[in-house]
Amino acid sequence: MKSIVILISGRGSNMEAIVRACAAEGWPARIAAVISNRPGAAGLAFAAQHGIATAVVDHKAFANREVFDAELQKVIDGYAPDLLVLAGFMRILTPAFTAHYAERMLNIHPSLLPAFTGLHTHARALEMGCKFVGATVHFVTAELDHGAIVAQAVVPVQAGDDEDSLSARVLKLEHRMYPQAVRWFVQDQLQIENGVVCQTAGESQSFI
């Protein structure tokens, strides 16, 4: 039985999808805790309602990222996670932190990486005239929005789309893809070779 800790900064809709899928599909795992860097994060209430431990490590209470990350790591490790999942966790993590959780920390980013790292991904894609957008689940490294790609979801851009409409359609696929990627991890079905992630049971790593 693997232990999962999820980090959020807000509503945590991907966290909700993972919690529900873990219960409904009977994963060999448990959500040990949901932790936020913001005391008012709405996702904390959802976690508590589902009997999941919650904690807050408020980044505003610390002098710098290094001190914050050290305290966050201490709290996370109190739950002895096999996997750390970032679900809308809006903090840039230090190299020491990412090294500590190397190959056992996942993130989801709303673009087809390596394109459009950082913020405002859908708006930037529209400005560039992209015909497809999407989202990527990847292992986290010290380099922002990089790391071995686990899965990608592809969404066609439609006439009249704006940032909000694209974001909503991509998010629906995120809610399918991210739980699948987490399930693969807890079932030991992900293998990294030369920086490329293989789903060892032969399931598709593409979502459309």
Burial 181-203 (b: 16+ CB within 10 A, else e): bbbbbbeeebeeeeeebebeeee
Nearest to 115, CA basis, from 137, 135, 90, 142: 135
Contacts of 120 (CB under 8 A, 6+ apart): 163
Q: Residue 103 burial (CB < 10 Å; 0-12/13-18/19+)?
A: middle
Residues annotated as catalytic are 109
Distance in angstroms (rounded) separating the CA atoms of residues 24 and 143? 34
